[in-house]
Amino acid sequence: MNAIVGKPAPQFSLDAVHQGQFHKVSLDDYKKKWLVVFFYPLNFTFVCPTEILAFSDRYDEFHKLGAELVGVSVDSKYSHLAWTDKTRKEGGIQGLRYPLLADLNRSMARDYGVLTDEGVALRGLFLIDPNGIVQHATINNLGVGRSVDETLRILQAFQFVREHGDVCPADWQPGEDGMKADPLESKLYFAKQA
């Protein structure tokens, strides 16, 4: 797998389901916006709906920060549509607030480095900035879901860096100070922490 952090996000243009309709969705649709792209293995599984719905339930928080979300799996748009029609009680994802992309030929999963030998995607999550550069990537194996809280924190940290030119120390939280990436000026930050 080639590292894509710090590089232009791989282009994509795929069929998607959003609000009960089929659409074509491409990276170009998100120019000048922050974008969270997350891959999941398959529809109608177990961990996947918990993640997909957790992100959907917090969609307003992402939107308030100027970010959009897309989910991606190797399932067809028809499978996505059927899953979005099922209620949560049935293991479905009815009411989903962002598009699900159908990566049937697995090109997007391959381009983002998350395709397994079995032909499904690992749980990859990518944060793309308004210039189309990948700022963050995490990849989990199939058995463990991702944290929406951590994704929001990472988004806000990269927005802070972009706006202020500072860097964010470990466990940085919104409202906290950043630090200057400079041998002398960084000592001001360290002095406040002692």
Q: What is the pLDDT of residues 147-179, one digit of tens each?
A: 999 999 999 999 999 999 889 999 999 999 899
Please indicate whether residue 189 or residue 90 has the higher confidence score (pLDDT).
Answer: 90
CA distance linking residue 39 with residue 48, whole number of Å: 10
CA distance linking residue 35 with residue 27, whole number of Å: 9
pLDDT digits (tens, 9 = 90+) for 8-53: 999 999 999 999 999 999 999 999 999 999 999 999 999 999 999 9
What does the pLDDT read at residue 184?
83
Number of domains the chain contains: 1
118 located within any domain: yes
Of the residues 17, 27, 48, 109, only one is catalytic, namely: 48
What confidence tier does 190 reach under pLDDT thresholds 50, 70, 90? confident
71 located within any domain: yes
158 located within any domain: no
User: What does the DSSP 8-state code read for residue 40?
Assistant: -
For residue 42, count other CB atoms closer than 10 A to its CB.
16
Taking residues 57-70, report their average pLDDT.
Answer: 98
154 located within any domain: no
Query: Chain-wide mean pLDDT for the chain?
Result: 95
Question: Phi then psi for 44, rounded to 5 degrees?
Answer: 60, 35
182 located within any domain: no
Length of the chain (residues):
194
Direct distance between the N- and C-terminal alpha carbons of the chain, in angstroms, rounded to an integer: 40
93 located within any domain: yes
On the CB side of 3, CA atoms within 13 Å amount to: 4
Domain that holds residue 108: 13-146
- Tell me the three state secondary structure of residue 23: strand
163 located within any domain: no
What confidence tier does 193 reach under pLDDT thresholds 50, 70, 90? confident
Residue 84: which H helix or E strand, with range? helix 77-85
What does the pLDDT read at residue 1?
47
pLDDT digits (tens, 9 = 90+) for 81-134: 999 999 999 999 999 999 999 999 999 999 999 999 999 999 999 999 999 999
CATH number, domain containing residue 58: 3.40.30.10
**Contacts (Cβ under 8 Å, ≥6 apart) of 130:** 31, 32, 33, 34
What does the pLDDT read at residue 2?
58
| pTM, rounded to two decimals | 0.94
**Contacts (Cβ under 8 Å, ≥6 apart) of 81:** 17, 20, 22
Q: Does the pLDDT of residue 60 top 80, yes or no?
A: yes
Q: Does the pLDDT of residue 194 top 80, yes or no?
A: no
What does the pLDDT read at residue 77?
98
48 counts as catalytic = yes
